[in-house]
């Protein structure tokens, strides 16, 4: 096998390297900067040029080499290259070729072009390791224009009602994607410290983002009555929120497709948006690879792998420690 599944992570014997390992290893190939994929403690890291800044900010002074998309690295007896995954800025699929056999580890990915991340690029391969965070037909993402319309209508409605709109979003990727859909004529965008720290990192590498106002002392509901506030999900419902007075809370997540999740979160509004592929995206991406073997990780693994087998794929489940999208965890917080 080109890649093996070990207790430390996805391992390439020919390169003596691991892909997104969850235990410390000598050499790690990292798909993107979210904390369930880019963990501390590895001897050496290889990641894309665009994901390196946020990784360095999160992990500190690590030994890291960076690469552009599509550049082939000869590591041991393997040819390894990184290709756009469309998940968040800098995210990558990792292509591994050994003796003519090609495997691709997708990391996390989405197939729509969100205008922020490098668009997903299908890679031909013999075996494909795919996520299945939203691997059921119910998960069907709305058009971005419709999402923008609904977000801005909610925000404007909050302003008219004298409330502050507070939206729970992951700090890396989703927050920046959302803020680029917001209408600045309604009011200012306030950002939790974790979101603003990520904004600074991305702006420093040339990614254009709207103006934002960090929530510091003196910035509150009275100073910015027409604002929308972007904060990690973990901040909602805490004492941090009291400064905004009367609020209307929203969540932006693929899980908002499920009414039961919206009720349990006690959110006033749920917006269906994810940086993971929906059902159609997963199926399209796998078909584009031409792979005969598919390994399914995190999410609806049993259901999705069964579906793939029914479509004629040699599909199986791989247990990993990747987190997918979790409303209760601010996994992208950059402090």
Mean predicted confidence (pLDDT) in 259-267: 66
**For position 260, what pLDDT does the model report?**
65
CATH of the domain at 177: 3.40.50.10710
**For position 259, what pLDDT does the model report?**
73
List the alpha helices (DSSP H) in 109-217: 144-160, 174-179, 193-204
Look at residue 19 and tell me if it is in a domain. Answer: yes
**For position 237, what pLDDT does the model report?**
85
Residue 309 has pLDDT above 60, yes or no: yes
Residue 12 has pLDDT above 90, yes or no: yes
Say whether both 162 and 237 belong to one domain: yes
Phi, psi of 287, rounded to the nearest 5 degrees: -60, -40
Q: Is 256 helix (H, G, I), strand (E, B) or coil?
A: helix
Look at residue 333 and tell me if it is in a domain. Answer: no
CATH of the domain at 78: 3.60.15.10
pTM of structure: 0.94
Say whether both 130 and 87 belong to one domain: yes
Say whether both 12 and 124 belong to one domain: yes
Position of tokens 């499920």? 258
Say whether both 240 and 284 belong to one domain: no
Q: Where in the sequence is the domain holding 294, given as residue range(s)?
A: 4-138+276-317
CB-based contact 224:188 (threshold 8 Å): yes
Q: Which long-range contacts (CB under 8 A, 24 or more apart) does 251-259 make?
A: 251/167, 251/168, 251/327, 252/167, 252/168, 252/169, 252/174, 252/178, 253/168, 253/325, 253/327, 254/133, 254/134, 254/139, 254/141, 254/278, 254/325, 255/325, 255/327, 257/138, 257/139, 257/140, 258/138
Look at residue 76 and tell me if it is in a domain. Answer: yes
Q: How far is the C-alpha of 90 from the C-alpha of 68, rounded, in Å?
A: 10
Confidence of residue 208 (pLDDT cuts 50, 70, 90): very high
Residue 265 has pLDDT above 80, yes or no: no
Mean predicted confidence (pLDDT) in 233-256: 93
Look at residue 323 and tell me if it is in a domain. Answer: no
More confident residue, 258 or 305: 305
Look at residue 91 and tell me if it is in a domain. Answer: yes
Q: Which of 39, 135, 36, 50 is nearest to 86 (CA)?
A: 50
Say whether both 109 and 151 belong to one domain: no
Bridge partners (DSSP) listed for residue 71: none
Say whether both 63 and 163 belong to one domain: no
Say whether both 222 and 306 belong to one domain: no
Confidence of residue 245 (pLDDT cuts 50, 70, 90): very high
Residue 263 has pLDDT above 80, yes or no: no
**Mean of the per-residue pLDDT values for the chain?**
94
3-state secondary structure 199-231: HHHHHHCCCCCCCCEECCCCCCCCCCCCCEEEE
CB-based contact 78:13 (threshold 8 Å): no
Say whether both 178 and 247 belong to one domain: yes
What digits encode the pLDDT tens for the residues 87-132?
Answer: 999 999 999 999 999 999 999 999 999 999 999 999 999 999 999 9
Q: How many CB atoms lie within 10 A of CB 251?
A: 23
Say whether both 280 and 266 belong to one domain: no
User: Alpha-carbon Rg of the chain, whole angstroms?
Assistant: 20
How many domains is the chain partitioned into structurally? 2
Query: What percent of the chain has a predicted confidence (pLDDT) above 70?
Result: 95
**For position 323, what pLDDT does the model report?**
81
**For position 258, what pLDDT does the model report?**
87
Q: Which of 55, 268, 274 is nearest to 174 (CA)?
A: 274
**For position 267, what pLDDT does the model report?**
80
What digits encode the pLDDT tens for the residues 45-92?
Answer: 999 999 999 999 999 999 999 999 999 999 999 999 999 999 999 999
């Amino acid at each position: 096998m080109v890649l093996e599944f070990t207790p430390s992570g996805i391992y390439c014997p020919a390169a003596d390297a691991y892909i997104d390992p969850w235990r410390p290893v000598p050499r790690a190939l990292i798909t993107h900067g979210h904390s369930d994929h880019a963990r501390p403690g590895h001897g050496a890291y290889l990641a894309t040029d665009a994901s390196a800044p946020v990784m360095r900010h999160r992990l500190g002074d690590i030994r890291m080499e960076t690469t552009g998309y599509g550049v082939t690295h000869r590591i041991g007896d393997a040819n390894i290259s990184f290709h756009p995954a469309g998940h968040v800025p800098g995210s990558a699929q990792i292509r591994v070729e050994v003796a003519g056999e090609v495997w691709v580890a997708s990391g996390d990915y989405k197939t729509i072009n969100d205008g922020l991340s490098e668009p997903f690029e299908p890679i031909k391969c013999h075996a494909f390791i795919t996520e299945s965070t939203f691997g059921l037909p119910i998960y069907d993402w709305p058009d971005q224009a419709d999402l923008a319309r609904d977000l801005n209508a909610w925000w404007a409605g909050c302003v008219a009602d004298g409330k502050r709109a507070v939206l729970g979003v992951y700090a890396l990727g989703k927050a920046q994607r959302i803020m680029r859909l917001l209408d600045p004529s309604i009011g200012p965008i306030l950002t939790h410290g974790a979101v603003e720290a990520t904004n600074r990192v991305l702006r420093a590498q040339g990614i254009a983002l709207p103006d934002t106002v960090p929530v510091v002392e003196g910035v509150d509901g009275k100073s910015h009555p027409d604002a929308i506030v972007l904060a990690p999900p973990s901040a909602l419902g805490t004492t941090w929120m009291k400064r905004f007075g009367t609020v209307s809370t929203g969540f932006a997540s693929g899980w908002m497709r499920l009414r039961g999740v919206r009720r349990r979160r006690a959110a006033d509004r749920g917006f269906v948006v994810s940086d993971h592929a929906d059902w159609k995206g997963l199926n399209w991406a796998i078909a584009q690879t031409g792979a005969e073997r598919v390994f399914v990780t995190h999410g609806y693994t049993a259901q999705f792998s069964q579906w793939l087998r029914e479509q004629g794929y040699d599909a199986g489940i791989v247990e990993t420690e990747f987190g997918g999208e979790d409303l209760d965890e601010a996994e992208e917080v950059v402090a």
